[in-house]
Amino acid sequence: MKRSALAIALAAVFAAGPVLAAPTAAPAPTASSDAVAPGAWDLRPLYATPAAWDAERQAILAELPKLAALKGTLGTSAANLQAGLDAVSALRRRVARLGVYASLAADVNTQVGENQARNQRSDAVANQYGEAVSWVTPEVAAIGADKLHAWVAATPGLAKHRYMLETTLRLAAHTLAPGEEALLAAAADPLEQPADIYRLLTNADLPWPTITVRGKKVTVDQEQYVALRADPDPKVRDQVFQAFWPVYKAYERTIGAVYAAELHGTVFQAHARKYASSLAMAQAGDNIPEAVYTTLVKEANAGLPTLQRYFRLRSQLLGLKEARYSDIYVPLAKPSRTNYTVAEAEALTLEALKPMGETYEARLAAGFKGNWMDSNVQRGKKSGAYMNGAAFDVHPYLLLTFNGDYPSVSTLAHEWGHAMHTVYTDSVQPYETSDYSTFIAEIPSTANELLLADYMVAHAQSKAEKIFALSQELENLRGTFFRQAMFAEFELEAHQAAERGEPITGEMLSKMYLELLRRYHGDAVHIDDLYGIEWAYIPHFYTDFYVYQYATCVSAAAYFAEGIGQGDEALRARYFKMLESGASADPYELVKAAGVDLASPEPYRAVVRRMNRVMDELEALTTKK
């Protein structure tokens, strides 16, 4: 996921965009022992102890009045503008680091109240910071384009702030008066509450059922659901689905109300900032053409025959008369390994990514040895996987739950793609232009997954291994392109319903989602009414208009992975230039300069063609005698 886990109260300082909760970051141990437990990360590079963290928190709070005292000085001279922006940026850097530590500790075990309290204190600091500097954007906008351009050209110290200043000018029409900006900044905390409530409810409070699988009792929580939905026994899969999804269904009204609050908060901000829609606001901050979003949805729908061909091929190879939703995750062939260790997964990832070059390989190997990642299976740990690189002065941190199967290996390669993106950006960019956009963030992570898939196909030792590798690539394309495009379509419809003033309820959202499920899967997969509740399982919906970027990024990643894998050195150079560019220019333009125009249909059609080619290869392989 995106590098920054800091509340977007900070981002709002320099952009008239939404005040939202960004994707949460990863966890942290609190033990004072010098030893780092196997599979855990070491948070001491951030702060030596929790007490040191709290001392820094209090020091930051003491600095906030100094920022407020700068109000009214930015437009008086280029020197004062530089001094003011440097001070704002320096404290933001410290607030970000504070937030990384707190969020990591909170996520490693959501049931520990002390960690949750620390995270809330960190959020409060971020919000107070946002309020303290809420005057900056309107004051910068008031300077005017001509004077700002002249000052930047004549003042080397403003170079690192250039892109932020240009963005501020571009968004000036959506920047409010200082008092109104302060009000929106103060609203950041309540606007973050739906995401916080959802996270705690679904990670700590849902009553997970227990079932018996082959004589053993299993608690079907989120992690076990992911593990067991791929079970080879269709009876077990059905048992798991029938146990897991009714839990969410029982909370349909509650989670529906939580998501409605999220939607209404976004619509409120869009209206307050005079955007035509929530989508327009979401795209404005990074200056991404809305055509990227709408073209993706259109092309995904045009490619549904390919998706449904995949489901029919699965049914044929699995010998299913009728595929059910509980059948879509079962592998088409048994993997040769189901007990990878983390060390083995790291070694495999290094081999698969050799086309990236020696420098990339060396940096990745150093990260593997640096205790950057928490990979342990632990009850109460935040579900999912992500990377957090928001602490600029420290290496990135990664969270995942490593189960030993191939998807865990692929997830590891994915998250380290994020980490290496951060490493490359931070090696070139100053802090002010290091927080790269999500629009680019999922490209290097997904490129890693695709290179790993290509490696597994090329090095398959048997027909069964090759079938497994090809099927994993197909599943990756299904999940990253078509599934995320479906999520994007759901998000767009939900926001549009809120904008029209329609009542938003859990029942209504389930109906909307069920219709999309059935359209995307067609008559190739039977979808029970129960599975309309799946929207309530997706945490990314609490970072509005985020998931579509998985689909756009896999389209770009497929282009880069194919070329780099074939040894195209010029393409690799453009790829690394994109990674090193951070937030120094509009992300859409950075990707376009590297060779991919994501506002055009072609990248999405290429992904569909790739999926068809892989299916052709799989069909040829499985029909051989």
Angle at 241 between CA 236 and CA 247, to 5 degrees: 135
Task: State residue 47 phi and psi, 5-degree precision.
Answer: -150, 140
Tell me which of 181, 415, 449, 499 is the catalytic residue: 415
Q: Which residue, among 108, 83, 87, has the nearest Cα to 30 in the 3D structure?
A: 108
**C-alpha–C-alpha distance, residues 135 and 467, integer Å:** 59
Pairing label, strands 386-388, 373-374? unpaired
Q: Report how far residue 41's alpha carbon sits from residue 374's, in angstroms, rounded to the nearest whole number.
A: 5
Measured CA to CA, the distance from residue 587 to residue 442 in angstroms comes to: 12
397 burial type by CB count under 10 A (0-12 exposed, 13-18 middle, 19+ buried): buried
Q: Say if residue 580 is exposed, middle or buried (CB neighbours under 10 Å; 0-12, 13-18, 19+).
A: middle
d(CA 259, CA 502): 14
Which H or E run includes 550? Answer: helix 548-565
- Residue 218, classed as helix, strand or coil, is strand
The residue behind tokens 């069920």 is 514
Closest CA to 122 of 24, 213, 254: 24
Tokens of 374: 């928490």
Q: At how many degrees (to 10) do helices 483-499 and 548-565 cross?
A: 150
Task: Give me the helix-helix angle, 113-132 and 50-68, nearest 10°.
Answer: 20
Rounded alpha-carbon distances, angstroms, from residue 222 to 237, 299, 558, 587: 14, 31, 29, 33
Q: Is 449 a catalytic residue?
A: no
Of 275, 278, 309, the residue nearest 293 (C-alpha): 278
Q: Cα(434)–Cα(606) distance, rounded to whole angstroms?
A: 31
Which helix H or strand E contains 213, and what residues bound it?
strand 210-213
Q: Position of tokens 């090095």?
A: 459
Contacts of 219 (CB under 8 A, 6+ apart): 208, 209, 210
CB 434 within 8 A of CB 402: no
Give ∠ CA 209-212-213 in degrees, rounded to 5. Answer: 120
Q: Hey, which residues are catalytic here? A: 415
